[in-house]
Amino acid sequence: MSDQFNSRQERRKAQQGKSRSNTHSKPKKKKKAGLFKKILLSILIIGVIGLIAGGVTFAVMVADSPSLDEAKLKTPYSSTIYDKNGKEIAEIGSEKRTYVSIKDIPDSVKNAFLATEDARFYDHHGVDPIRIGGALLANFEGGFGSEGGSTITQQVVKNSLLSHEKTLKRKVQEVWLSFQLERKYSKDEILEMYLNRIYFSPQAYGVGKAAEQFYGVTDLNDLTVEQAATLAGMPQSPNNYNPIKHPEKAEKRRNVVLSLMNKHGFISDAEYNKAKKVAVTKGLVSPKEYAKTTSNKYSAFIEQAVAEVKEKANVTPGTDGLKIYTTIDTDAQDYVDELMDGDSIQYTEKMQAGLTLLDTKTGEIRALGGGRDRKAGDFNYAVDTKRQPGSTIKPILDYGPVIENKKWSTYEQIKDEAYTYSTGDPINNYDRSYRGWISMREALVDSRNIPALKAFQAAGKDNIVKFAGNLGLNINSDDLVEAYAIGGFGNGVSPLQMAGAYSAFGNNGYYNEPHTVTAVEFNDGTKLDLTPESKAAMSDYTAFMITDMLKSAVQRGTGTAAQVPGVTVAGKTGTTNFTEDDIRKHGINRNGARDSWFVGYTPQYTAAVWTGKEGFNSLSQSEQQVAKLLFKKLIAKVDNGSGSFEKPDSVVEATVLKGSNPPVLASSNTPSDKKVTEYFVKGTQPTTVSKKYEEKENADKPSGLSAEYDEASKSIKLSWSYSGDGDVSFKVKQSVDGGGYSEIQNSSAKEAVIPNAKEGSVYRFQVTAVTEDGESDPASVTLKVNAADEDESKTDDEKKDDDEKKQDADDDQDKDKQNNGNSNQPNDQNPGNSDQNNQNPGNSDQNNGRKDDDADDQDNDQNKDKDKDKNKNPDQGANTGDQQTNSNGQSTGTN
């Protein structure tokens, strides 16, 4: 057998050969194992190289990191503020803090800030990857701002030692120094640094000073959980979450903080539910106490500048040793302060005012009037107030959008008539009257509410929301009801917002966000430009046409009291009223107003002025004029009258027949009082010329006119013939006993019956043919009504000889008058004279067959004249707003 061997040696050799054979049968497995080892080795090599490269890069980036300077970490630096010319005007920060040791800060306060800013503070070593990931998730679940990504340690490093430029190198240095800070200082020491650096307001840096300013407590142990949560929620946006200025926003933010404290186990469910039910205003100091802080000369402006720097640069102006370059014009600001608190304006008790002055071309704020008798930290009526804008909103929500999207001209005809909102609620004009068809210009000049609503409806909600948003007024589409068209806002607007929006009209349609700061320089010398980017908000034709109409509003409309000699001013008034319920409940004068506005601009400056009173106190007729007076005095002081509003190529000027609808061009024969020059978007202007006042051939004259008296019916019958072609009507006029002519019939009939004729009287009749080409010469006949045997009826031809004889007699009488001075000649001695005086074949006012495009605007002119008489002085109460209340019960503005 093949498996039998003669010796053990043969068996061993056979087994060795078999083993070699088995080994050679699996060469592929050996190759796979070798490839895997090579890939793994390559990855390891690349990783090592990457680590070395990363380490070298990291080392280079951190090589010039600043040292952990304890003075910078624990001693904040004040910041310097400069005016528009680079002159220092204020220093802020260093004196507005109360340093509190960590041992004097209760757990409730520490936990509120830890839950909000860094819940794993005591677990990480300066940088927390888990925190970064958790922050991203929290922002998706709880809304943006629920949590931040940087640890408290990183914030201390960033705010104390580094610039705020967003570069990889700065971030690497931040991480490196955070690790170093944690090695050198304890957690409590780092938390103490943080809590004493936080910016809360221009008058409060650090939690100790904030507790004193907002709650009047010097011992932090006296703060409740909900109060601690309110303070912990403020640093993210100190101005917006200020519980005294913005309690609603502050309460929402506080409840977010409470929920985070509950989530991280700092408070129980019961404590959370109890705390969030407490009003955010509970325990706050009064506004007067809040205002008792260190005062700056330009406090309203400086506070706004500090808020801007905090928001845009994400720095702490009172601790970071910044140089803040602002837009303030100190001369203008000094004059605004004088207007607010000096004797040039006679304010009444309780009356307040807010004012924003900015550069029309750049949006740079030159001055702010924060209020009368204002102290540092007080409510800022120029920035913080949110009041209904009244009719100042019409260019923004009504006429601006409809020009932009529908290309309406300044002549666009709108019918001012009895009208309702889409809800069926009535809308009225301020004078509760209607002017019929009027142009868009006249509607804005006279501040008519009904045409404004019609423009609003024609523009469309989506277009309005977009247009307003481009001008800095962000309106939720769901909130936009038709009452907004005349200023019936839910949340209201500020003078700063209105000034920003109007400035775009004066800047060829470009919007610049109103701003007080142009740049910030950090203590390491780096500089950050904060100037907003200019944006095209509308077409240049929209901006120009709104501007031109608003110029008319100042020249001859409701804003005449705001005129400034030698300066081109465009602007709009606005007043708002109380609701009917408020009037009845609080005994408010119906002629009083809740708010009075004037917003206007020149080629150089834009100013928005609000005046009003808190609570249910109304402005009298005379008080409603103060806003215009403030504007006038301010512009007269700061504006030198240079510059103009230039018409862009996208706009064409056209002289049209007044009242024509659709518009037609006025002809060379159109009387000057029947022409008006308006602006049209290029390509939409009329091209048809009116034929109304062109010379026309007379129509054929009626023939065979006769008059017969019927004694039985006591009536006169006229009849005549007509040989002309086409549609024709006949106007019949009569004169009795030499009196004036009056029209008694206008129809296509070729006869007329005059009842109740008076015997003994002389009747004269004229019959005129009227066609589309014009009117004929009149045919005439005279009839003396006598008894049947004495009846006389003669046509003009039959009476020709008699007329010549009577003319001779008239001549003799004229000679007698010259000799005797007798001018009392009876009318019936010259019966032919009335015919001559009343023959006016070209009088188209009697043309009932005229076309729409040649329609006269006589009725509109009469109504307009009445309104002008009523509004010769619009500042003496003629433009008082009409009470409007929308379906939501909101009081709305009207003029």
CA distance 564 to 11: 126
Q: Collapsing DSSP states into helix, strand and coil, what is residue 652?
A: strand
Helix (H) or strand (E) holding 416: strand 413-416
The residue to which tokens 């009207």 are assigned: 894
Question: Are 543 and 531 in contact, with CB atoms under 8 Å apart?
Answer: no
CA distance 283 to 215: 6
User: For residue 622, which of 632, 633, 611, 637 has the smallest C-alpha distance?
Assistant: 611
* Catalytic machinery residues: 117, 391
3-state helix, strand, coil in the chain (%, to 5): 40, 20, 40
User: For residue 502, which of 605, 592, 581 has the smallest C-alpha distance?
Assistant: 605
CA distance 367 to 638: 11
**Tokens matching residue 271:** 């404590």
The residue to which tokens 């990855």 are assigned: 43
CA distance 895 to 875: 12
Q: What is the DSSP letter of 617?
A: -
Sheet containing 751-754: which strands, arranged edge to edge? Answer: 703-710, 715-721, 751-754
Q: How much is the CA Rg of the chain, to the nearest whole Å?
A: 43
CA distance 138 to 244: 28
Paired strand residues for 205? 97, 199
Q: What is the DSSP letter of 726?
A: S
Position 719: which residue type?
Answer: S
Question: Burial, 609: exposed, middle or buried (Cβ in 10 Å; 0-12, 13-18, 19+)?
Answer: buried
Q: What angle do CA 671, 672, 677 make, to 5 degrees?
A: 125
Could you tell me where the beta strands, DSSP code E, fall in 127-282?
199-201, 204-205
Position 649: which residue type?
Answer: D
CA distance 885 to 427: 9
The answer for residues whose C-beta is within 8 angstroms of residue 234's C-beta and 6 or more apart is 200, 210, 241, 242, 250, 253
Provide the Cα torsion 278, 280, 282, 287; round to 10°.
-170
- Rounded to the nearest 5°, which phi and psi values hold at 686? -70, 150
Q: What is the DSSP letter of 484?
A: G
CA distance 258 to 268: 10
SS (H, E, C) 833-854: HHHHHHCCCCCHHHCCCCCHHH
CA distance 293 to 235: 20
- Rounded to the nearest 5°, which phi and psi values hold at 654? -140, 140
User: For residue 620, which of 385, 343, 880, 891 has the smallest C-alpha distance?
Assistant: 880
Provide the Cα torsion 828, 832, 838, 839; round to 10°.
170
Question: Are 662 and 686 in contact, with CB atoms under 8 Å apart?
Answer: yes
CA distance 447 to 476: 26
Provide the Cα torsion 71, 76, 77, 80; round to 10°.
180
Tell me how far the alpha carbon of residue 213 is from its chain's centroid: 35
Paired strand residues for 715? 710
CA distance 486 to 494: 16
